[in-house]
């Protein structure tokens, strides 16, 4: 039983570490939100599951199970809300970026069409 708990908590720590690296290294705010979501769901849930396995069947383990269920409901909702906030706060920049990219694409397609002709 101890070995299973150690393996589960180790996987949780691994996902926490990977999510933190993602938050530090990713280039954009929305991609950082992606890394943070992995850190929230997989890391926390695996660590708490390891603690449940360590404690066995008791009232405190049922409370930890309630924490896990609440995390699975609440953390994606919070991440969704944060992503909406990021999108609203950087709306103009994203719009201009998209327009410039589309303009480049149309230019490229026109050039390619000219080469083909």
Partner 1 sequence: MYNFLVFSIIFLGLTTLLCMFRVIKGPTKGDRIIGINIIGTKTMVIIAIVSSILSEDYFIDVVLVYALISFIGSYVVSRELIQSEKEE
How far out from the chain centre does Cα 78 lie? 11
Residue 95: CB minimum distance to partner 1, A: 13
Site string for partner 1, 38-57 (x = CB under 8 A): -xx--xx--xx--x--xx--
| DSSP symbols for 12-77 | HHHHHHHHHHHHHH-SSHHHHHHHHHHIIIIIHHHHHHHHHHHH-SSHHHHHHHHHHHHHHHHHHH
Per CB under 8 A, residues contacting partner 1 are 2, 5-6, 9, 12-13, 16-17, 19-20, 23-24, 29, 32-33, 36, 39-40, 43-44, 47-48, 51, 54-55, 58-60, 63-64, 66-67, 70-71, 74-75, 77-79, 81-82, 84-86, 88-91
């Amino acid at each position: 039983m101890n070995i299973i708990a150690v393996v589960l908590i180790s996987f949780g720590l691994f996902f926490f570490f990977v999510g933190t690296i993602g938050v530090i290294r990713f280039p954009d705010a929305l991609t950082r939100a992606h890394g943070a979501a992995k850190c929230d769901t997989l890391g926390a849930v695996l660590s708490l599951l390891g603690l449940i396995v360590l404690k066995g069947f008791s009232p405190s383990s049922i409370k930890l199970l309630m924490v896990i269920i609440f995390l699975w409901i609440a953390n994606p909702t919070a991440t969704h809300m944060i992503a909406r906030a990021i999108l609203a706060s950087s709306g103009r920049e994203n719009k201009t970026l998209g327009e410039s990219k589309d303009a480049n694409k149309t230019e490229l397609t026109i050039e390619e069409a000219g080469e083909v002709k």
